[in-house]
Amino acid sequence: ATDQTAVSDLKVFPVPTSDYIQFSGLRDQPHQVAIYNLEGHFITKRDLRTNEAINIQDLVSGAYIMRIFGEDVNRSFRILKID
């Protein structure tokens, strides 16, 4: 079961960004990040360590949905990649 209070402080920043997305509020356990375009098509999935940044420089400029999931979290955020 997901402990909603454990992830209520989860933050994704900065938005918009041209290079890296950072995270705060994740517990120290394995997580994955999946990125989808706004039509729902899968773009990429990456492993995420606690408070690690994800490089999105290879994405084309535009809006995306970033889903963060693991044992304690399953949340989606809208991100904006700019050049």
The model's pTM is 0.85
The residues, any chain, with a CB within 8 Å of residue 33's CB and separated by 6 or more, are 45, 46, 47, 48, 54, 66, 67, 68
pLDDT (average), residues 71-75:
90
Helices (H) and strands (E) in the chain, counts: 0, 7
DSSP 28: S
Distance of alpha carbon 46 from alpha carbon 83, whole angstroms: 21
Q: 15 or 72: whose pLDDT is higher?
A: 15
pLDDT above 90 (res 64):
yes
pLDDT in tens, 2-54: 444 455 688 999 999 999 999 988 888 889 999 999 999 999 999 987 778 99
pLDDT (average), residues 50-61:
90
26 with 32: CB under 8 angstroms? no
